[in-house]
A = this chain, B = another copy of it.
């Protein structure tokens, strides 16, 4: 049966272990792909248009914003990034679930533009554990870590529009939960009700 996939939006504080959980969850699934963002940033050596990113100039980016061609967009270090709606829709129509890993503010934009998108928030078991993980990475100064913790608390307060919450205490368990969410959302009545009408 050909049915539309779901857009799975994943957010969570830096250090929550999102990437690990996502990759474990989807590694054996053939019905999942990742969203490709559009950016005004210049391609780096080896980057291919349409693979890492869709590379566009600022004029084209602004046109996409004006024409509502982006599900969300944001600025980061003087460059613009966004999620092209048409590209996502094409994958969904092909029956693929599309994973979109973005921050809470972008996720809120997607939630408003595409209410059927499945919003998943991934958090560490506690703020103390988040601090330990960030310290363990050894990539941030103490001040940068403090800023990340403040930001995480801010995100928690804004996260009330998510549908699912995964606590990444054990990455295997968290990945099983994300895998289950993707499967369960594919079983939603409204996506399959056509089967009953054919009966």
The CA-CA distance from A121 to B188 in the complex, in Å, is 10
Q: Give complex CA distance A153, B199 in Å.
A: 7
Q: Which of A77-85, A87-95, A174-182 contacts B (4 or more CB under 8 A)?
A: A174-182
Determine the distance from Cα of A183 to Cα of B164 in the docked complex, in whole angstroms: 11
Bitwise interface map of A from 50 to 82 toward B, beta carbon under 8 Å scored 1, else 0: 000000000000000000000000000000000
Question: For the complex, is A147 an interface residue (Cβ under 8 Å from B)?
Answer: no
Q: How far is the CB of A128 from chain B (nearest CB, A)?
A: 9
Nearest Cβ distance between residue A142 and chain B, in whole angstroms? Answer: 20
Number of contacting residues on A, CB 8 A? Answer: 35
Chain B residues contacting A187 (CB-CB under 8 Å) are: 164-166, 177, 180-181
A binding-site residues for B, Cβ under 8 Å: 1, 121, 123, 126-127, 152-153, 156, 159-160, 162-167, 176-177, 179-181, 183-189, 191-193, 195-196, 198-199
**Cβ contacts A to B, 27 pairs, < 8 Å:** A123-B195, A126-B199, A152-B199, A156-B196, A156-B199, A159-B189, A159-B196, A163-B188, A163-B189, A164-B184, A165-B188, A165-B189, A165-B191, A165-B192, A165-B195, A165-B196, A166-B187, A167-B192, A167-B195, A176-B183, A177-B186, A179-B180, A180-B183, A180-B184, A180-B187, A184-B184, A184-B185
